[in-house]
């Protein structure tokens, strides 16, 4: 297949709805005025990738072989770089990038930078994430490098609010209940000094409307979209305007 522009690879399926949401946001946030102005995209979306949180907590198999298989396919198909619209999977992206020999954009760093840019002086950022992301301290480690203090909800709120809300999105349950649970968790982070909260699981932005009325919420999916556009998008060449006038 011949392409005139570099393609973006999407290593998805974690979960399927989050992957579809990423691509929708990529299209809507691209400053294009016609079909041809959008990025060429290659997608590998395998929902059979083993659960990332379970693996990080020692309760399941590693997702690395499946992730490497997908990343290698994307590279062979012509992807210039790869995005993984799953925060928890970023515990493994360095391994995946090295094994597949392809650049993988950093969703965690992109989300933290977006949070810091919401207002001058932001230095305490709350994170709503999966147990696996928490266990791997992905945001804490990246925040330390950027000079940002990262706050997590209590273990009680994680198990009673955040985890059930994520499961509800994956399972297609009532979004109203899930929204309220995420709002409760976001309010607790604000009470403990969070100036901004990151929706640090790609299911959470889908149910963060009520939370955003309590505290500014940064969408990790949008942050990754913006990183991809910054890396690859280029304005298309100016189109020739034909007037139909004949030259004698």
Q: Which residues are tagged catalytic?
A: 86, 201
Please state the separation of Cα 176 from the chain's center in Å.
22
DSSP code at position 159: I
- CA–CA distance, 218 with 222 (Å, rounded to integer): 8
Tell which residue, 203, 198, 224, 229, has the closest CA to residue 90: 224
Rounded to 5°, angle at Cα 17 from 81 and 87: 50
Tell which residue, 110, 58, 59, 120, has the closest CA to residue 84: 110
Task: With beta carbons less than 8 A apart as the criterion, state whether 225 and 25 touch.
Answer: yes
3-state secondary structure 203-237: CHHHHCCCHHHCCCEEEHHHHHHHHHHHHHCCCCC
Terminal Cα distance for the chain, rounded: 41
Please state the separation of Cα 87 from the chain's center in Å.
6
């Amino acid at each position: 297949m011949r392409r005139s522009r570099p393609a973006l690879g999407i290593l998805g399926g974690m979960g399927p709805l989050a992957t579809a949401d990423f691509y929708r946001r990529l299209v809507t946030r691209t400053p294009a005025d016609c079909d041809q102005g959008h990025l060429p995209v290659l997608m590998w979306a395998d929902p059979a990738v083993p659960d990332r949180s379970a693996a990080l907590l020692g309760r399941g198999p590693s997702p690395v072989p499946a992730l490497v298989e997908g990343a290698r396919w994307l590279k062979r198909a012509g992807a210039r770089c790869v995005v993984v619209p799953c925060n928890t999977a970023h515990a493994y992206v360095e391994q995946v990038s090295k094994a597949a020999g392809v650049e993988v954009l950093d969703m965690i760093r992109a989300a933290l930078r977006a949070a810091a840019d919401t207002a001058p002086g932001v230095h305490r950022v709350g994170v709503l994430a999966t147990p696996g992301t928490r266990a791997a301290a992905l945001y804490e480690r990246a925040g330390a490098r950027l000079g940002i203090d990262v706050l997590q909800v209590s273990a009680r709120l994680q198990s009673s609010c955040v985890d059930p809300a994520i499961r509800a999105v994956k399972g297609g349950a009532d979004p109203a209940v899930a929204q309220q649970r995420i709002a409760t968790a976001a309010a607790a982070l604000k009470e403990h000094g969070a100036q901004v909260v990151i929706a640090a699981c790609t299911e959470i932005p889908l149910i963060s409307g009520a939370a955003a009325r309590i505290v500014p919420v940064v969408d990790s999916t949008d942050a990754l979209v913006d990183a991809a556009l910054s890396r690859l998008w280029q304005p298309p060449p100016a189109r020739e305007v034909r007037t139909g006038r004949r030259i004698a």
